[in-house]
Amino acid sequence: MRGTLLLARSEIMRLRRNRRYMISTLAFPIVLYLLVAKSAKATVYGVDFAAYYMIAMATLGSFSGALTGNAIRIAQERKEGWVRQLRLTPLPSNGYVIAKIIAAMAISVPSVVIVLLLGRYYGGVHLAIGAWITIAVVVWLGAMTFAALAIAIGYRLQPDQVQPIALLIYFVFLIIGGIFFPLKGFLQSVGNFTPTYEALKIATDVAGGASVSGGLIAGLVIWLAIFSGLAWLSVRATAETV
Amino acid sequence: MSHSGTGPVVSFENVSKHYGSLKAVDGLSLDLRAGETVALLGPNGAGKSTSLDMLLALRKPTSGKIRMFGSDPYHGVKTGRVGAMLQSGGLMPEVTVLELVTLVTGLQPRPVPIATTLRRAGIESIADQRVDRLSGGQTQRVRFALAIVGECDLIVLDEPTTAMDVETRRRFWASMKEEVAEGKTLLFATHYLEEADQAADRILVINRGRLLADGTPAEIKARAGAKRMSFRLRGVNEPFLLGLPGVTSLDVRGDVVQIQTMDSDATLYALLDAGYRPHEIEVGSLGLEQAFLAITAEDDRAGENASAAVEEVRQS
């Protein structure tokens, strides 16, 4: 485990140095929040717009942090032979994947925290302390689904295929998950089943004091199981070609 | 620390690796003993890299058994007993050389001091450079550094000096000698015959996935009809010369005769016994390169004959 943590520390250091990655996970949701949070006065998913948009942007930050950085890097590092090189070290065979997940989850923390702080002090969102913590944890843990998806894609595809496919999946899930704007009608009925929407809705229910539906939690868990299963299959299928 | 116990460091028992109908490795059996420096020599596609991949638990043999320090190779790799550098191995980008060496050193159960690794690999001067901005030769040296960050018992290198310039190559082998002097076993694949000749105390020649020869560089040279004889002689027909004992090839230009022979003494005596008196007689050894070509060419011919025989059986 010590080796895995050492590798995770290096991974976090690399992610922090990568400007493009930091912009997409940190700057993008912050700037969007500052621009949009006060532009509408409405009640969305049972909460004020400023509270809805705070939760949406925190979800955006953590989910994008979990998916985009890792998927592309894993594909590149497999192609360039770094994954192979690591297999020749005493690092446990699952150490690389675990370190990637730890790094992605760790790097998502600041964007969640900063957006929630903005919600409180810029958007004027007032919640009980327990609700703040629950929202942060839900939005952050929900990104585990995308962390697993990143492994599945990164191990299965070539680097030049990963970028467009990851972006496509990412934007589809964000849009029909209600992250950029609340959904209505048909889109909503489809979006109900996305992990992005499920994380968002659990958090807005917590913020609005509504009872959280077990179906939403079950949905997230099912997505996590599906993506983890795909990740496991991808890693196993490529065991002889890394 | 060197290998304790008396068993072989590495053993291949009738190991094969097939990709569909392609037999990349075909019934390979060999043992490496502690403290040996062994060159795995063969042309491209001979099965060198596949054999090393299987030894390092990156690929599974289709059949046969590989042991490392008496247990399975995966165990050997994960307990830090092997340092390895593969052609296909890459480096982590976006970090400095020092950060990378520090990380991989941290993964070792018996780490070597980082300063020692940097010195042995000759990368002190580039320690603060970013890994993804190195030249080919510098990258190769960093990859070598990653193979020696732990106090291992076995070092495995696949074509280690590819992309190195002459000076770097010289330094590389000098630091490799330091490692071997500590009692480590070294296995390296190469197609530089000169390198195998100079660095190894044992050479394994493989071709088409099979072991063709196993011996000291001198034995390998001897194995392939490794004497060259030349003399001047008028008026002798070529069939007669080819019929002399030991002769494997013949080249006649005017009165200059060049013979390659398995047994230079027998060839010469037979020539003299037949009443000829050649002059300007010279006898010398073949280089390892010619020996190697002779061994693999013989094997390729055998392969063609075998497939021709199969073809005949099919047609009849």
Please report residues of A whose CB lies closer than 8 A to that of B78.
90, 92-93
Structural domain count, chain A: 1
User: Which among B99, B103, B109 has CB closest to A90?
Assistant: B109
| Residue A180 forms part of a structural domain | yes
**Strand pairing category for B185-190 and A47-48:** unpaired
B89·A81 Cβ contact <8 A: yes
Q: A238-241: which pairs have CB atoms within 8 A and are 24 or more residues apart?
A: A238/A78, A238/A155, A238/A156, A240/B58, A240/B59, A240/B60
d(CA B142, CA B169): 14
Question: What residues are paired with B96 via a beta bridge?
Answer: B130
User: Which among A17, A83, A93 has CB closest to B94?
Assistant: A17
* Chain B contact present for A16, CB below 8 A: no
d(CA A77, CA A72): 9
Helices (H), B182-287: 193-199, 217-223, 238-242, 264-273
d(CA B88, CA A22): 30
Q: How confident is the model at residue B289 (pLDDT cuts 50, 70, 90)?
A: low
How confident is the prediction for chain A on average, in pLDDT? 92
* Chain B contact present for A90, CB below 8 A: yes
A77·B60 Cβ contact <8 A: no
Indicate the pTM of the whole model.
0.82
Element (H, E) at B118: helix B114-121
Closest chain A C-alpha to B170 CA, distance in angstroms: 25
Check: CB of residue B37 under 8 Å from CB of residue B291.
no
**Strand pairing category for B10-19 and B247-253:** unpaired
| Residue A227 forms part of a structural domain | yes
Q: Tokens 């291992």, residue?
A: B152
* Chain B contact present for A13, CB below 8 A: yes
- Of A117-131, B61-75, B220-234, B239-253, the range with the lowest mean pLDDT is B220-234
DSSP line for B76-94: HHHTT-EEEE-TT----TT
Domains and CATH numbers, chain B: 10-215 (3.40.50.300), 227-285 (3.30.70.100)
| Residue A214 forms part of a structural domain | yes
Please report residues of B whose CB lies closer than 8 A to that of A93.
78
| Residue A221 forms part of a structural domain | yes
How confident is the prediction for chain B on average, in pLDDT? 87
For CA atoms B227, B306, B55, A86, the dihedral sign is positive
For residue A220, the enclosing domain spans 2-237
> How does pLDDT run across B81-138, given as a tens digit for each residue?
999 999 888 999 999 999 999 999 999 999 999 999 999 899 999 999 999 999 888 8
- Of B63-72, B118-127, B215-224, the range with the lowest mean pLDDT is B215-224
- Which are the contacts of B98, defined by CB distance < 8 A and separation ≥ 6? B114, B118, B127, B128
* Chain B contact present for A94, CB below 8 A: no
State which residue of chain B sits closest to A81, comparing Cα positions: B90
* Chain B contact present for A87, CB below 8 A: yes
In the predicted model, is pLDDT for residue B314 greater than 90?
A: no
- Of A175-179, A188-192, B63-67, B189-193, the range with the lowest mean pLDDT is B189-193
Helices (H), chain A: 2-17, 19-22, 28-36, 49-80, 82-87, 95-121, 129-142, 144-156, 159-176, 185-191, 195-208, 214-237
| Residue A121 forms part of a structural domain | yes
| Residue A242 forms part of a structural domain | no
User: Which among B58, B80, B109 has CB closest to A84?
Assistant: B58
Share of chain B above pLDDT 90, in %: 50
* Chain A contact present for B78, CB below 8 A: yes
Model ipTM?
Answer: 0.88
User: Which among A77, A87, A89 has CB closest to B104?
Assistant: A89
Helices (H), B136-237: 136-147, 166-181, 193-199, 217-223
A85·B95 Cβ contact <8 A: no
d(CA A113, CA A135): 10
Closest chain B C-alpha to A114 CA, distance in angstroms: 26
Please report residues of A whose CB lies closer than 8 A to that of B80.
89-90
| Residue A139 forms part of a structural domain | yes
Q: How confident is the model at residue B3 (pLDDT cuts 50, 70, 90)?
A: very low
d(CA A33, CA A122): 9
Please report residues of A whose CB lies closer than 8 A to that of B142.
none
d(CA B34, CA B8): 7
d(CA B252, CA B241): 10
